[in-house]
Amino acid sequence: MKPSTPPTNYRPKNPLISPRFGDIATFNRLPYLPDLKGKQVDVAILGVPFDGGTTFRPGARFAPRAVREASALNRNFHPTLGVQVYERLNVVDGGDISVNPLNLQTTFKNIEKHVSQVHSAGARAILVGGDHSILLPELRAIHKKFGKPILVQFDAHTDTADSAWDEKYHHGTPVRRAIEEDLLSGSDIFQIGIRGPLTSADQESYCREQKINTLSIDDFYDIRKRDQFFHLIHSKAQKGPKKKSRPVYVSFDVDGVDPAYAPGTGTPVVGGMTSREALDAVRKLKGLQICGANVVEISPPYDHAELTSLLGAALIFEFLSLMASE
Amino acid sequence: MKPSTPPTNYRPKNPLISPRFGDIATFNRLPYLPDLKGKQVDVAILGVPFDGGTTFRPGARFAPRAVREASALNRNFHPTLGVQVYERLNVVDGGDISVNPLNLQTTFKNIEKHVSQVHSAGARAILVGGDHSILLPELRAIHKKFGKPILVQFDAHTDTADSAWDEKYHHGTPVRRAIEEDLLSGSDIFQIGIRGPLTSADQESYCREQKINTLSIDDFYDIRKRDQFFHLIHSKAQKGPKKKSRPVYVSFDVDGVDPAYAPGTGTPVVGGMTSREALDAVRKLKGLQICGANVVEISPPYDHAELTSLLGAALIFEFLSLMASE
Amino acid sequence: MKPSTPPTNYRPKNPLISPRFGDIATFNRLPYLPDLKGKQVDVAILGVPFDGGTTFRPGARFAPRAVREASALNRNFHPTLGVQVYERLNVVDGGDISVNPLNLQTTFKNIEKHVSQVHSAGARAILVGGDHSILLPELRAIHKKFGKPILVQFDAHTDTADSAWDEKYHHGTPVRRAIEEDLLSGSDIFQIGIRGPLTSADQESYCREQKINTLSIDDFYDIRKRDQFFHLIHSKAQKGPKKKSRPVYVSFDVDGVDPAYAPGTGTPVVGGMTSREALDAVRKLKGLQICGANVVEISPPYDHAELTSLLGAALIFEFLSLMASE
Amino acid sequence: MKPSTPPTNYRPKNPLISPRFGDIATFNRLPYLPDLKGKQVDVAILGVPFDGGTTFRPGARFAPRAVREASALNRNFHPTLGVQVYERLNVVDGGDISVNPLNLQTTFKNIEKHVSQVHSAGARAILVGGDHSILLPELRAIHKKFGKPILVQFDAHTDTADSAWDEKYHHGTPVRRAIEEDLLSGSDIFQIGIRGPLTSADQESYCREQKINTLSIDDFYDIRKRDQFFHLIHSKAQKGPKKKSRPVYVSFDVDGVDPAYAPGTGTPVVGGMTSREALDAVRKLKGLQICGANVVEISPPYDHAELTSLLGAALIFEFLSLMASE
Amino acid sequence: MKPSTPPTNYRPKNPLISPRFGDIATFNRLPYLPDLKGKQVDVAILGVPFDGGTTFRPGARFAPRAVREASALNRNFHPTLGVQVYERLNVVDGGDISVNPLNLQTTFKNIEKHVSQVHSAGARAILVGGDHSILLPELRAIHKKFGKPILVQFDAHTDTADSAWDEKYHHGTPVRRAIEEDLLSGSDIFQIGIRGPLTSADQESYCREQKINTLSIDDFYDIRKRDQFFHLIHSKAQKGPKKKSRPVYVSFDVDGVDPAYAPGTGTPVVGGMTSREALDAVRKLKGLQICGANVVEISPPYDHAELTSLLGAALIFEFLSLMASE
Amino acid sequence: MKPSTPPTNYRPKNPLISPRFGDIATFNRLPYLPDLKGKQVDVAILGVPFDGGTTFRPGARFAPRAVREASALNRNFHPTLGVQVYERLNVVDGGDISVNPLNLQTTFKNIEKHVSQVHSAGARAILVGGDHSILLPELRAIHKKFGKPILVQFDAHTDTADSAWDEKYHHGTPVRRAIEEDLLSGSDIFQIGIRGPLTSADQESYCREQKINTLSIDDFYDIRKRDQFFHLIHSKAQKGPKKKSRPVYVSFDVDGVDPAYAPGTGTPVVGGMTSREALDAVRKLKGLQICGANVVEISPPYDHAELTSLLGAALIFEFLSLMASE
């Protein structure tokens, strides 16, 4: 996953020529390149405008557009990680994955296929959901390309529920389904920010049985536990076969942060971390081999002043910076 | 469909005892009566919190709750129709029909079954959607009970599209599907407020072939044409078998009015009628046998100051007043 | 009520020196003059930030501030009435009448006293409510100064209710109370825009008994009836004792217009007139002796993009133009 | 105050049968039971839709409805306190206490009487205001049943002001009035989150004289002081007569948290604690005998994306969890 | 200005493959083609994200993006004009004209140059402002290519003001400046919807002197006057030299419609026409040679539920339909 | 800069006579005194309604009005600093500085001149922007009166950019321009809260070269570094010539705090400090000679529930309290 040699071919539009509020909105004002075949691209940012797996407030189907708008404030240099992203990586806006708003299974197939095409073209994908159900087909594609990844999941919920209304696939189940499909091992899953009332005490036992690593919001605010948790991620990641690092997939559900910071989401849970703490935690993944990432559950109809979309755009930049720092 | 003899058993809560903004929100502050069996009820108002058939802005799943809130300003006497609704009819809030947000077919079955149960209990149903796809299962139940009704549809769209993404059932197709299932005859359909750019010129031909009666927005503002159109509805309705009046179903998609009056909707089309004109048009159905009615496509996340929910609540009162005036 | 000889002493701030969005917000960017004694003022615009008489959505207490902001777009010349307002009238912002948000009776006394002081200073008052309950103390002051006026009331409601929760004074009763206090005669009351479901059929009988003149929204859209109604106002106004014109008081409850035009209000009723039609109707009062006016029931927390406050500001300008046209 | 033996009779509606966004909105989707007489109920959640004691932004009258909606995301198990609430307690939605929006004294009497009836039925009450003035009649009922309680108050303001506009009863005075009526002793009052500019330096002296315990926001962020403060509450609570624990009443004014977390409130003060810190602080009351609780000053017209209502719903669950943990 | 022979090369994205809410937002979901040179394009839709000429509420710089989003509901067939737009015309999204938010003169030069390039490529331009100041540089380009056009202007304001704060160029002056630069003759200007208080009576005299044709909002509602006015436009347009039709430029300031229909604008004036009436009026231009058009003064920060942007998108479709109907 | 001897002449309006939501809105409900000549005033709060230097979201021109409204909750005593502000200082609302929305240079001249007039009258100025470009003319006036001040700047951005679109003066450049004009020395600049992606790595080098002191957001959360930073400010401030303290200017760009706390701003950057932390940091300046201060970049069209304006009002009170504590 070595980034391309500079100078890169794809750069964000220059704000001094075209003001930030102007022209076609693409992710980070990057070139729109829906077909990667034969192109030298390191990372494609893709929208997945699908909220057919939502069980409370819908609206995430409008997130890719909203994040494209909010990412207009994109810049190049990450001062904390010390990396000039667009001089290290060729990044493009790969457009949206074709979804069927009325059919989850068709959509899942499209997602898996499209992400695999990105992989075939030698690039990694950052996905902008959409609700969290899209994680499952992504993991199917990831698994095909990279084998079982380590999953780092920022979330208020564990997403390990079983069926609802006899439906196995919705935004509360992707992690359970992924384990069942053997795309992930429970002990490779690291969940951060889990909180709030649970449906029942039994919900915790599934996670325990599967050996899922959970950093509850209470533990998150215990600095010692937080440090240990990230240490564990790193040590796990370094134990790949043949001494190679293992690939890490980062899934960021914006309800992992407090609704004050991310009001535009579908199933908000009060009492979460701040945006700053979240960004800081993401940066702790520096040095890992990020094989892909997503940011999900942004619901623009419930957002205000683009707060949540701006967070989504900031997270994309963090993911890119991690990839550029490898 | 003769209303019950006064005094009625079910009355809205008295605002002088419990202020309008207080207590549990039910439709029109009426008693909540989810099971009608053995009760003397004339009309049940039911929510259908389903937006799984939406192709653009979602959110209609929250409409029943929003309309319950907005209907707090409900009153008893209709000054234009001259009827005291709750002294003529026993009306209740029948709760919500159980929906499956992830499965349109299950939801359709539930709707058909639930409406049929209302019919079995000797009552008529007024449904608060939900998106317009719910019209189809409603018509299935209506057809079973009343035979083929006359459909009076307020709408910006004809809802006679064929499949989208190979899906036959969504909020743009219920009228076509109902014709195909022989629940309706095209010439018994009366559409009011149709406007806006069409996908293609061919869309108009289907309506013509099926002999659907259309009062486009341009024709609506030609008073002569408008009068003729309503005259036609009345003459058609009186020509039931054995000289009996035929049952009339009223379906009101709020995008039939201009988005200035109904901003909270999923597929707005500028250039519609005003709320007043719409209410006035509904009242022209006085004297017909209303076998059921719905108001659909209210999307609260896009609403402001309850404008659209207030319209929904006003329409329910119009429907009740028509039923009380028979 | 003859306006002062030009040149006038009080003029709106010049927008070419201080931009419209700048500086202290006063009504129409006029000088703030809380004490009129000894000043040559023709009209004082006063705020009444009181919503203690509200029975549904509160918030009208913030209306004077909101209307001050919205009135920044104020200009001088009324093209339809053909009058240069500020060259004919000395107008000031008289500040707010001191209210007690916890005590309706104290507030009523303050209003009556303050308006009487304006009258003593030789000026007329235009009041910006506040809820409609403030009409009663205003009429007390008006009656003291001018005797029984003709009341022209734009409203969705007749405001002739009796007590609610044993309270005689709230925003649904001022007209009934004013008749009881003999501040008004029923046959001198002209209500425009009345509509919507009524509490009961009995509500209409009170108005009939009192011989209140009502132009329902249905009648409003019957141009012949509308013209007759305004003709009646004019003929009534000219029949003062000793062949003098009688004073006319104009009370504009913004729920008289449709909530699409005035979303920011407390008890909205769909199906009203448009802003343009309302402004046009107000202008039909040209030639009458306007002894005072108010605009009430603007609730800024429910407003959007200042729609309702802008309407309030426009109405103030209409009132001033009527006064300047006498 | 021992909770009922499981299995309980009253349970929240199952979200897998009726989706969270569906059906009549009750607190936590619990059964609506306005009359508790003869029913085995442990806790009744009651709305108090009254904002007649508000001195700045009104709107709290709509809070019970908004919190009912927001509490749809309610679940059963509290992971930090480790308790399955609805298996330990019979909880119901007791409806709204009848208020008179125009008369504070009548409303106060209704509140006191209604809460006493809940107590007579053997249940405790959790109240959802309304403005903070409702605390006084609640304390009257609490005092009658439990004697003088310890008051734990989360708030930006001390609510110990004296009259405003000669009115003794409004949302800034309940604590002072309660002391004067000997419902509370100053030294039994524990205030958390107090901050912001004060009217005058004298305001602090009243609290000092009355020996009110104050944890200012500055002290709150001094962990040692925070711990001491909660320690003091616990030690005070254990010193009841006859070695019995003393009853503790928790009053949570949402302006205790920062307006970023609770924008929908009447008198916001910037610089408050976060939602997470507030929930955490509430949990520190574990083990105390909670005789009642309220959450007040939620003003939905100023809320966004239900942020403040969601916090209100979360607080109710914390209160229930404390009660279930005794 | 003959449209290209079908089949056309540029078509909107198919909503049945990519849902309307998905993928990069371009005007009407058309191909993005910033460089027209050598391409067979009939019409280019261009954004002008500039609000540096605004004197009250800013925000129009975000209009091109907002209209791109709202135009997702675009369709092909205009039922009233009876034309299949995209089968008659090659239309593209030409991107945004490069603006300098800090320099009006530079921006004006860019606009003139860019529009001239569109003309050189054999295409016509539809511009989406931006504030109304952009009309002036557009007219400079139009004049160069087509000579003096007839201007049909929908607006609340005449835009014939002189300087403000000694600045000659702002959104209140473009029409006066265009006359001074001899880009337009006063008698070729047709203004529709003019209303509201004017700065002074003198403002009307300039329009009279220049023989500008004005259809005030009062006259607009006098059907006879309205018809005469449009008749005059048509007869003027047919009197080009050598019996050729003269080119007509349509400039639509959204404050021409009532703020209820277009809340998202900078200098709203209550009392305007409805969206439907505006669309209807635009269609009356059928048969004229439309050499260009713009829609200006949409200010998304003040919009709600995309009302104003949807109107903007609808107007673009009307302009295209007029061009396709020639 | 010694405050005036009490009793002071200018006091905020008494909320017990005029409720906080009433009457003309001035800063902190203080007397409006546009001309200070000959008046004994210590501090004038002035609005600068200018956003002509904005490069992304505009709207700051409405900030002075919004902050005036929000400052209605103003009180007198600062409990942490222990000072009764209005008994120590004569403070007035000095109105707005005359701006030219179309001309930055004219506006800059007006600002410099107006602030100098305040200085001439023996008062200090607190400015409420407007965008951050207004800092430059302020510093010109400050420099003339006080010499080179120490600048304490709360901000997400360093504002040391060079030109954009060849424009040297905009809201991203005032600090660089001030250094170039020798109004400030780089080593006297203390920036707090800097964060987010930078345009390039080079941006950091300018700050380093100029020896600007930067407390990045990461360093801010390292308490040791934070303390050292403020220690450095104090030690620097005490090293004025002749052992006198040096004047300190405080500039607070609200994007210094996280957008969850200040959504109403033009160029938001997620990951900032909380309001409480910001207020706390401002208070650490206690004891310094504050020669002036501003709060900038509040953009009301993007605000919600006045969150950002309330923060602005709170900051003004902090500045006053610092000045009153000297």
Q: What is the DSSP letter of C197?
A: -
Three-state SS for A131-149 is CHHHHHHHHHHHHHHHCCC
Least Cα distance to A111 among A90, A91, A92, A132 occurs for: A132
Q: What share of chain F is helix, strand, coil (3-state, %, to 5)?
A: 40, 20, 45
C23, C69, C101: residue with CB nearest F95: C23
User: How far is the C-alpha of D260 from the C-alpha of D250, rounded, in Å?
Assistant: 23
User: How far is the C-alpha of E293 from the C-alpha of C209, rounded, in Å?
Assistant: 59
Omega before A130 within 30 of 0, i.e. cis? yes
Residue D5 or residue B190, greater confidence: B190
Q: What would the pLDDT profile of F11-34 be if each residue is shown by its tens digit?
A: 999 888 889 999 999 999 999 999
Question: Average of pLDDT values for E203-218?
Answer: 94
Mutation site for F-interface testing, chosen from A8, A71, A73, A311 by largest number of F Cβ within 10 Å: A73
Instruction: Please give the CATH architecture assigned to the domain spanning D27-31+38-325.
Output: 3-Layer(aba) Sandwich (3.40)
Q: How confident is the model at residue D133 (pLDDT cuts 50, 70, 90)?
A: very high
Specify whether domain B27-325 bears CATH 2.30.30.280.
no
User: How far is the C-alpha of F207 from the C-alpha of A176, rounded, in Å?
Assistant: 50
Strands D189-194 and D83-84: unpaired
Q: What would the pLDDT profile of C156-188 be if each residue is shown by its tens digit?
A: 999 999 988 999 999 999 999 999 999 999 999
Q: Residues 6 or more apart from C140 whose CB is under 8 A from it?
A: C112, C181, C183
Class of residue B247 by CB neighbours under 10 A (exposed 0-12, middle 13-18, buried 19+): buried
Q: What would the pLDDT profile of F48-78 be if each residue is shown by its tens digit?
A: 999 999 999 999 999 999 999 999 998 899 9
Three-state SS for chain B is CCCCCCCCCCCCCCCCCCCCCCCCECHHHCCECCCCCCCCCCEEEEECCCCCCCCCCCCHHHHHHHHHHHHHHCCCEECCCCEEHHHHCCEEEEEECCCCCCCHHHHHHHHHHHHHHHHHCCCEEEEECCCHHHHHHHHHHHHHHHCCCEEEEECCCCCCCCCECCECCCCCCHHHHHHHCCCCCHHHEEEEEECCCECCCHHHHHHHHCCCEEEEHHHHCCHHHHHHHHHHHHHHHCCCHHHCCCEEEEEEEHHHECCCCCCCECCCCCCCECHHHHHHHHHCCCCCEEEEEEEECECHHHCCCCHHHHHHHHHHHHHHHHHHHC
Which residues pair with residue D251 across a beta bridge?
A: D153, D294
E69 to A65: CB separation less than 8 angstroms, yes or no: yes
Cβ atoms of E256 and E273 closer than 8 Å? yes
pLDDT of residue A244: 78
Report whether pLDDT(C224) > 60.
yes
| Complex ipTM | 0.95
In E25-84, the residues whose Cβ lies within 8 Å of chain B are: 72-80, 84
Query: Which chain E positions have a beta carbon within 8 Å of F302's beta carbon?
Result: 301
pLDDT of residue D5: 53
Q: What would the pLDDT profile of C26-59 be if each residue is shown by its tens digit?
A: 999 999 999 999 999 999 999 999 999 999 999 9
The pLDDT > 70 percentage for chain B reads 97
User: How far is the C-alpha of E158 from the C-alpha of E150, rounded, in Å?
Assistant: 15
Q: How confident is the model at residue C213 (pLDDT cuts 50, 70, 90)?
A: very high
pLDDT of residue F7: 61
The residue to which tokens 């047919």 are assigned: E238
Q: Which residue of A has its CA nearest to B171?
A: A102
**Chains E and A make contact, 3+ CB pairs within 8 Å:** yes
The pLDDT > 90 percentage for chain E reads 87
Q: What is the DSSP letter of C255?
A: G
Tokens at residue F155, please?
């901000």
Count other C-beta atoms under 10 Å from residue C121's C-beta. Answer: 17
Three-state SS for B125-151 is EEEECCCHHHHHHHHHHHHHHHCCCEE
**CA-to-CA separations, C29 to C72, D221, E267, F44, in angstroms, rounded:** 6, 46, 16, 21
Query: Which chain D positions have a beta carbon within 8 Å of A216's beta carbon?
Result: 79-80
Report whether pLDDT(B11) > 80.
yes
User: How far is the C-alpha of E203 from the C-alpha of E188, rounded, in Å?
Assistant: 19
User: How far is the C-alpha of B139 from the C-alpha of B268, rounded, in Å?
Assistant: 24
Task: For residue B89, give the amino acid letter.
Answer: L
Q: In the predicted model, what is the mean pLDDT of chain F?
A: 94
Q: What would the pLDDT profile of D8-65 be if each residue is shown by its tens digit?
A: 789 999 888 889 999 999 999 999 999 999 999 999 999 999 999 999 999 999 999 9
Report whether pLDDT(B6) > 60.
no
Q: Which residue of F has its CA nearest to E303?
A: F301
Neighbours of chain C (3+ CB pairs under 8 A): B, D, E, F
User: How far is the C-alpha of C48 from the C-alpha of C50, rounded, in Å?
Assistant: 6
Report whether pLDDT(F187) > 50.
yes
pLDDT of residue E201: 74
User: How far is the C-alpha of A262 from the C-alpha of A297, rounded, in Å?
Assistant: 10
Instruction: Please give the CATH architecture assigned to the domain spanning C34-325.
Output: 3-Layer(aba) Sandwich (3.40)
Q: Which residue of F has its CA nearest to C102?
A: F19
The pLDDT > 90 percentage for chain F reads 87
Q: What would the pLDDT profile of D119-129 be if each residue is shown by its tens digit?
A: 999 999 999 99
Strands C189-194 and C213-216: parallel
C59 to D54: CB separation less than 8 angstroms, yes or no: no
The mean-pLDDT minimum among A4-18, A119-133, B185-199, C137-151 falls in A4-18
Q: What would the pLDDT profile of E56-79 be if each residue is shown by its tens digit?
A: 999 999 999 999 999 999 999 999
User: How far is the C-alpha of F316 from the C-alpha of F45, rounded, in Å?
Assistant: 8
Distance of CA D122 to the CA centre of its chain: 19
E101 to F301: CB separation less than 8 angstroms, yes or no: no
Question: Average of pLDDT values for E174-180?
Answer: 98
User: How far is the C-alpha of F264 from the C-alpha of C238, rounded, in Å?
Assistant: 54
Three-state SS for F6-69 is CCCCCCCCCCCCCCCCCCCCCHHHCCECCCCCCCCCCEEEEECCCCCCCCCCCCHHHHHHHHHH
State the virtual CA torsion across A136, A140, A146, A151 in degrees, nearest 10. 20
Q: What would the pLDDT profile of C291-313 be if each residue is shown by its tens digit?
A: 999 999 999 999 999 999 999 99
The mean-pLDDT minimum among C235-239, E95-99, F181-185, F298-302 falls in C235-239
Which residues in F267-296 are b (16+ Cβ under 10 Å) and which e? Answer: bbbbbbbbbbbbbbbbbbbbebbbbbbbbb
Query: Which chain C positions have a beta carbon within 8 Å of E221's beta carbon?
Result: 276
C–D CB contacts, 8 A cutoff, strictly below: 57
The domain locations on chain D are 27-31+38-325
A165 to B61: CB separation less than 8 angstroms, yes or no: no
Q: How confident is the model at residue B200 (pLDDT cuts 50, 70, 90)?
A: confident
Strands F189-194 and F289-296: unpaired
pLDDT of residue C8: 78
**CA-to-CA separations, A21 to A24, E131, E219, F57, F58, in angstroms, rounded:** 9, 15, 39, 8, 11
The pLDDT > 90 percentage for chain C reads 87
In B117-146, the residues whose Cβ lies within 8 Å of chain D are: none
A218 to D311: CB separation less than 8 angstroms, yes or no: no
Rg of the Cα trace of chain B? Answer: 18
Question: Average of pLDDT values for A264-287?
Answer: 97
Query: Which chain C positions have a beta carbon within 8 Å of B307's beta carbon?
Result: 259-260, 263, 268
Query: Which chain E positions have a beta carbon within 8 Å of C16's beta carbon?
Result: 164-165
First to last CA, chain A: 8
Strands E77-78 and E83-84: antiparallel
Query: Which helix H or strand E contains E124, and what residues bound it?
Result: strand E124-128
**Coil, helix or strand at residue D79:** coil
Does this model's pTM top 0.95? My answer is: yes
Report whether pLDDT(D260) > 60.
yes
* Closest-CA distance of chain D to residue B116, Å: 19
Question: Average of pLDDT values for A299-323?
Answer: 98
Q: What would the pLDDT profile of A202-249 be if each residue is shown by its tens digit?
A: 778 899 999 999 999 999 999 999 999 999 999 999 886 777 789 999
User: How far is the C-alpha of C30 from the C-alpha of C24, rounded, in Å?
Assistant: 10
Which residues pair with residue D84 across a beta bridge?
A: D77
Question: Average of pLDDT values for A288-294?
Answer: 97
F22 to C69: CB separation less than 8 angstroms, yes or no: no
C58 to D55: CB separation less than 8 angstroms, yes or no: no
C270 to B260: CB separation less than 8 angstroms, yes or no: no
Report whether pLDDT(B201) > 80.
no
Tokens at residue B99, please?
């929906």
User: How far is the C-alpha of B179 from the C-alpha of B186, rounded, in Å?
Assistant: 7
Q: What would the pLDDT profile of A194-203 be if each residue is shown by its tens digit?
A: 998 887 777 7
pLDDT of residue E6: 54
Tokens at residue D199, please?
């009217």
Q: Which residue of D has its CA nearest to A274?
A: D274
Q: How confident is the model at residue F1 (pLDDT cuts 50, 70, 90)?
A: very low
Query: Which chain C positions have a beta carbon within 8 Å of E198's beta carbon?
Result: 75-77, 79
pLDDT of residue D7: 61
Residue A18 or residue C318, greater confidence: C318
Question: Average of pLDDT values for C278-300?
Answer: 97
The residue to which tokens 């309309």 are assigned: B67
Backbone angles phi, psi at D83, to 5 degrees: -130, 140
HSE-up of D169 (CA within 13 Å, CB side)? Answer: 16
pLDDT of residue C6: 54
pLDDT of residue D46: 98
Q: What is the DSSP letter of F265?
A: B
Q: What would the pLDDT profile of D80-117 be if each residue is shown by its tens digit?
A: 999 999 999 999 999 999 999 999 999 999 999 999 99
**CA-to-CA separations, D157 to D152, D217, D257, F318, in angstroms, rounded:** 13, 11, 11, 18
